[in-house]
Amino acid sequence: MSTITHHDALIYAMVTISAADRSMTDPELMRIGEIVQTLPIFRSYNRERLINAAEDCGDILQGDDGLQRVLDEIAEALPKKLYDTAYALAVEVAAADLHVEQEELRFLQMLRDRLNLDKLTVAAIEAGARARHRTL
């Protein structure tokens, strides 16, 4: 059983995608803050906990099998109905700086596999993010 809340699991997904390319950009960090401030899923979340949750995630990532442990924590802490939400939030953060690195794509693949998301759901989430972040 997971030791984190569903809120923390969603934050872990966002922090891990941001850190995947070893460069947490300002647009990514700002997007995480905006998501936590505005999405209904975070209404009951103590926003003062955000930094601690991000640091806890970073500590896990630094350890042995850190990435796998984070993926396990996310999957165990979330009810299945929030699996697509976790993926959508990770995609949103990846798209925030308008450039997605190979490492970020790899994490997204690992996340969707761990959460057993179907291809249509994944495609819809990714298409929505592309549409929201498109520029001329």
pLDDT score at 1: 54
Domain 6-133 has CATH 1.10.3680: yes
The model's confidence at residue 8, banded by pLDDT at 50, 70 and 90, is very high
Stated pTM of the model: 0.94
The secondary structure of residue 22, as a DSSP letter, is S
Q: What percent of the chain has pLDDT over 70?
A: 99
